[in-house]
Amino acid sequence: MSNAVNILKKPFIATVISVILGFLVSLFVLSAAGYDPFKSMAVMISSIFSRPKFITNVIIKSTPLILTGLSAAFAFRTGLFNIGAEGQYIIATVVSTLVGLVFNFHPVVQIPLVIISGVIAGALLGGFTGFLKAKFGIHEVITSIMLNWIALYTCNYAANLEAFHKPESNGTYPINKSGISMLLYDWKFSEQGRAFLKDNSLLNDIILKTDLNLNFLIAVAMAIIIWIIVYKTKIGFEMRAVGFNHHAAMNAGIRVNRNIVYSMLIAGALSGLAGALTISGTSNNAIQVLSVFENNGFNGLAVALIARSSAIGCIFAGLIFSGLIYAGQSLQFKIGVPSEIINIMIGVVVFFVALTKMFPAIVEKFFMRRSENVK
Amino acid sequence: MLNSILFAITITLMYSAPLVFAALGGVISEKSGVTNIGIEGMMSIGAFVGASVGYYTGNAWSGLICAGLSGGVLALLHAIASVTFQADQTVSGIAINLIGSGLSMFLSRLFFNGATTTLPVPQKLPKIFGFLGEKYDFINCINLDITVLLSLLAVMFTWFVMYKTKWGLRIRALGEHPAAVDSVGVSVYRARYICVILSGILAGIGGASVTLAIISQFTPTAISGQGFIALAAVIFGKWKPMGAYCACLFFGFAQALVIMLGGGNNAIPTDILAMLPYVMTIIVLMLFVGRSSAPKAAGKPYKKGSR
């Protein structure tokens, strides 16, 4: 019995249980709505794993989720609630696109330029939120919500600018080719490349039919770096101390306000990186007019929660999330199940994550009651 | 001139009504010590249920009531997690947002032939002077949605209960020092359950007052961020019913400015103009409002017997 309780206390196990419970509840919802849950399950699994292309796509699409997840997780660790990841992501896509359109250097310069300009834009927006909190005491949630909308309208304004707007579309031109970081981008569409790939169906699937890029590796590297910053450096320690109890931190001589700004800067930079990599590394390579939020940042919050704010956990949570979104599209396409079931599923998983702290206690109570009855 | 002032007032009130309901819900829940980030999700489900019940029954009022109930049910989930299971209220709130918006679109696809937009309701909620007909020009100018009036009444009622009654005192104390309330024999859990469910009902009604009064159907963009704006209004209004009401009016007014400045051949591009409410909010917060203090115990689960 105590074994069971101890196992449930392990965050990893508790998260796995939440995910399973989330699945079960959504299958129940599906069957209540008149769909065949087992068939849906089978479609979901096959739509992720049945072809190398699908697996590659899931990995590629997980990158922005992992990074915005890291952004939210980092902020959580330092006691801040970065609901502004959405705006930071959007503003980064805007700045990266504009920089990528205006400049045209050699790729060795251009690609870092495009990406870093987006990162800086995100960081500045995040840092501004932190600054307002530190200087004026304005709650970061309220500033973030306002800045999200400001970023959205900035994006719409930029997408409609005459100089960059692509006629008969609702977005800008793609950025200059020198800023595109998809692997083998020129080669794979050349005759030579096509001829080579034709004979090799596996490579054809992975390289030609997806936006193959190195973004995922960058995201993984960032997760490791963030873990190191949070747990192995002085500044990380200070930020966590401010997050735990800013009065105590102040008494210990830590500059609370400066740390708030720093941690929002870093969180903003991570969301910015997500946006910048999306522009540089996935097709369209452009911004579109947004009528509603695309939830890249808001989903990051859910990723961070499923990962319990663990940097490394964000990688796996991001992959799961991305897989579910990808599978949701196939569900709708193949058997007509509304793709929104995925939102419900993720919501339920997050809900159970919220409850997991109580799992051990519930089991304990249950067993205690039983053992009392035995006596 | 007079007409354009009246027009500005009408738009202000029209835009603010849904926010007022939702923000009021936020105030009640947070005053009782439970952070409610899930307002957006509760508004979404309310907006959908309101519009679809309104469509199927042909009666907008029953739509409004069912919308409140649906918001309340979602809030019950939040209450179970955050009161009984002492879960992290932010996490649970975000879960509610995901579930609420997902469920409303999912159900819409089920009931309306795979469309995420419901069919328009046959009759919207009445206007205040609807019974007079459309004979008088002047009255048409000030003929507000009934939800505007209802939201004002709800604010006044909440203010009265919160500051002039025994129950209000208890609710306010719950958010500051729940153990003190417990020690005088009031069940903290039950009181928090009631407050959270009430906040869900109000948020649901807020959502429905978009889809039953302003527009006449549910669309995926009907509730896009109003819940978060309401959340901001709670903080902006310093966790007070009247403060939140004023904050919502402020948002509504900024929206009215956008509409009024946008007409004609104005030099300001629409997208820049649309930022106005959000920029104004940040500036006002910087200049006038300053440090905001949430109820002390908000967000902290209460464990019976702890001090």
Q: From the CA atom positions of chain B, what is the Rg in Å?
A: 20
| CB-CB contact of B273 with B254 (8 Å) | no
Residue A31 touches partner B, C-beta closer than 8 Å:
no
Q: Which of A54-58, B104-108, B135-139, B295-299 has the lowest mean pLDDT?
A: B135-139
Residue A32 touches partner B, C-beta closer than 8 Å:
no
Work out the average pLDDT over A303-315.
Answer: 91
Q: What is the pLDDT of residue A47?
A: 87
Q: What is the DSSP string of A287-331?
A: -B--SS---HHHHHHHHHHHTTT-HHHHHHHHHHHHHHHHHHHHH
Please say whether the dihedral angle defined by the alpha carbons of residues A130, A73, B294 and B98, taken in this order, is positive or negative: positive
Adjacent-strand bridge partners of A291: none
Nearest to A262 by CA among A230, A288, A287: A230
| A contact residues 262-321, partner B, Cβ 8 Å cutoff | 291-293, 298, 301-302, 305
Q: What is the pLDDT of residue B152?
A: 94
Residue B294 to chain A, least CA–CA distance (Å):
10
CB-based burial label for B169 (10 Å; 0-12, 13-18, 19+): middle
Interface test with B, best of A65, A305, A349, A350 (most B CBs within 10 A): A350
Work out the average pLDDT over A265-269.
Answer: 96
Residues 6+ apart with CB under 8 A from A4: A363, A367
The predicted complex's ipTM stands at 0.89
Rounded-to-integer distance, Cα A328 and Cα A330, Å: 5
Is A329 or B71 the better-scoring residue by pLDDT? B71
pLDDT band at B235 (very low <50, low <70, confident <90, very high): confident
Q: What is the pLDDT of residue B140?
A: 64
Contact A139 B292 (CB under 8 A): yes
Whole-number Cα distances in Å, A273 to A113, A149, A268, B39, B218 = 12, 19, 8, 29, 35
Q: What is the pLDDT of residue B301?
A: 82
Contact A340 B281 (CB under 8 A): no
Give, as one character, the DSSP assignment of residue A357.
G
Task: Count contacts between A and B (CB, < 8 Å).
Answer: 148
Q: What domains does chain A contain, in order, with CATH numbers? A: 1-35+340-375 (no CATH), 50-336 (1.10.3470)
Q: What domains does chain B contain, in order, with CATH numbers? A: 2-289 (1.10.3470)
Task: Fill in the amino acid letter for A332.
Answer: Q
Whole-number Cα distances in Å, A277 to A59, A101, A216, A283, B282 = 14, 15, 10, 11, 29
Residue B173 to chain A, least CA–CA distance (Å):
22
Interface test with A, best of B278, B292, B300, B303 (most A CBs within 10 A): B278
* pLDDT value at A75 more than 90: yes
Percent of chain B at pLDDT exceeding 70: 92
Residues of B in contact with A292 (CB under 8 A): 220-221, 224
Residues of A in contact with B279 (CB under 8 A): 146, 150
Residue A325 to chain B, least CA–CA distance (Å):
12
Q: Which of A107-111, A205-209, B46-50 has the highest mean pLDDT?
A: B46-50
Q: What is the pLDDT of residue B289?
A: 63
